[in-house]
Structure 1
Amino acid sequence: MNIVNSLRLTFAAAVLTAASLATTSAQAQAPLKIGYTSVEYVLSQMPESKQIESDLKAYNSQLEAQLKSKYTEYQTKGEAYQKGAATMTDVVKADKEKELTALQQSIQEFQRNAEQSLQQKQQTLLKPALDKLQKNIDAVAEENGYTYVLNSDGASPVLLHGPKDGDISDLVLKKMGITPGANTVKQAPVAPATAPAPAPAGKTKTKTK
């Protein structure tokens, strides 16, 4: 999961409204002026992006460790069941099978929830950076007389064409005290915690009731 890429949809609506806060009087006195910015570019320049990426990777590692622990427990109990199944009473055998089934379901549920949990963590980590970016886009738009600011990122960008002097990306960075091109961060993908589909080792199969 690429942090910057995953923000495109999040910012699509936010950036569209970035300069709509210009005063009514200013709009009446000046002609319509439309600017655009690459949200992806600006975010990659912000120093916060590196820390966000690091924190997100650390959280993903925690999820992977929890999943590994669950899977190890399942394998250990599955192997123990296989070795002792022949000497178990029907009651004990049924109880062990029920326990293994419950563990298997727990692993599957954890895997389903891991990606959602990672996305929620990402949103929490990103909020301060998003608020900062929105605030500076608003400020640059008002200071430079832009009535609207569009986002030029994405497979289906809001902006289809625009003059170079309409690009306010570097103005936004300078407004935040960032030298354009100085803090580019290469984003590494962060995949949600996953593990092989659990199944007891050997030939003995658990019963699903």
Structure 2
Amino acid sequence: MKIFRLTLAAALLTAGTLAATSAQAQAPLKIGYTDVQYVLSQMPESKQIESELKTYNSQLENQLKSKSSELETKYKAYQAGEATMTDVVKADKQKELQNLQQSIQEFQQSAQQSLQQKQQTLLKPALDKLQKNIDLVADENGITYVFNSDGGGSPLLLHAPKDGDISDMVLKKMGITPGANAPVVRQPTNAPAPTPAANKTTPSKTKIKTK
């Protein structure tokens, strides 16, 4: 299972950024980085988010199983009585089976979309909290830009000194002891429909948002 990928919003042309750019003329540019996956995994909200996602995913799976069971039952009944059916009845039963099969396919697609929306809804408060504390740490330490060094997928940062990592500072700002090994917010593996590829991240100042 892979952690949710977080999308970084491009938000450089703000009043605050313009002010910071002016200040850069008098002070050296300071860049920091944080592992969003690591920080998110340490937040206490991650356990509750994962639990709610698993519950919601199970509900969708149960609905899918019910629909599949109905299709299987009706198909077996069709096979058992096919030999004695008139052409009109046979055509009607075949049409019914086709409609049920199509309904299942449509449900799989809508269920995956619904699961993704649920993920975004559950993650938003945690992402907003993370963003707020990244901003606080950056401001307090005179950091102009913060990059995501997330080790999953393709990290935005390929090399940097350890003292530029503000991940633990962000956790402490939220009152969390670094390295608590809290469960990672993950996507359920048994989703009713195939999980799409994770969203790529793009660089920005520090802004984080759900897609």
TM-score where L is the length of structure 1: 0.81
Which residues of 2 match residues 8-47 of structure 1 at below 5 A? 10-11=6-7, 13-14=8-9, 21=16, 23-24=19-20, 26-47=23-44
Native 8 Å contact 1:15 1:149 kept in 2: no
Gaps of 5+ in 2: 195-211
Which residues of 2 match residues 117-128 of structure 1 at below 5 A? 117-128=114-125
Following the alignment from structure 1 to structure 2, what is the Cα–Cα distance between the partners of residues 141 and 155?
25
Decide which of 100, 103, 113 is 1:103's aligned counterpart.
100
Q: What residue is the counterpart of 1:165 in the other structure?
A: 163
Residue type of the alignment partner of 2:160? G
Identify if the C-alpha distance between structure 1 residues 15 and 169 changes in structure 2 by more than 3 Å, giving closer, same or farther. farther
Which residues of 2 match residues 44-193 of structure 1 at below 5 A? 44-153=41-150, 154-186=152-184, 190-191=188-189, 192-193=191-192
Residue type of the alignment partner of 1:193? P
Following the alignment from structure 2 to structure 1, what is the Cα–Cα distance between the partners of residues 45 and 10?
19
Following the alignment from structure 1 to structure 2, what is the Cα–Cα distance between the partners of residues 21 and 159?
24
Native 8 Å contact 2:109 2:193 kept in 1: no
Residue type of the alignment partner of 1:175? K
Following the alignment from structure 1 to structure 2, what is the Cα–Cα distance between the partners of residues 39 and 139?
15
Identify if the C-alpha distance between structure 1 residues 14 and 137 changes in structure 2 by more than 3 Å, giving closer, same or farther. farther
Give % identity: 71
Identify if the C-alpha distance between structure 1 residues 52 and 122 changes in structure 2 by more than 3 Å, giving closer, same or farther. same
Q: CA deviation at 1:189?
A: 5.3
Following the alignment from structure 1 to structure 2, what is the Cα–Cα distance between the partners of residues 115 and 67?
12
Look at both structures and tell me which one has the larger radius of gyration over its CA atoms.
1
- RMSD of aligned alpha carbons: 2.3
TM-score where L is the length of structure 2: 0.81
Residue type of the alignment partner of 1:114? A
Identify if the C-alpha distance between structure 1 residues 186 and 146 changes in structure 2 by more than 3 Å, giving closer, same or farther. closer
Native 8 Å contact 2:49 2:185 kept in 1: no
Identify if the C-alpha distance between structure 1 residues 190 and 15 changes in structure 2 by more than 3 Å, giving closer, same or farther. farther
Moved more, 175-184 or 50-59: 175-184
Corresponding residue pairs, total: 188
SS at match of 2:82: helix
Following the alignment from structure 1 to structure 2, what is the Cα–Cα distance between the partners of residues 89 and 30?
88
Native 8 Å contact 2:56 2:115 kept in 1: yes
Native 8 Å contact 2:47 2:182 kept in 1: no
SS at match of 1:146: coil
Q: CA deviation at 1:34?
A: 0.3
Following the alignment from structure 1 to structure 2, what is the Cα–Cα distance between the partners of residues 78 and 155?
44
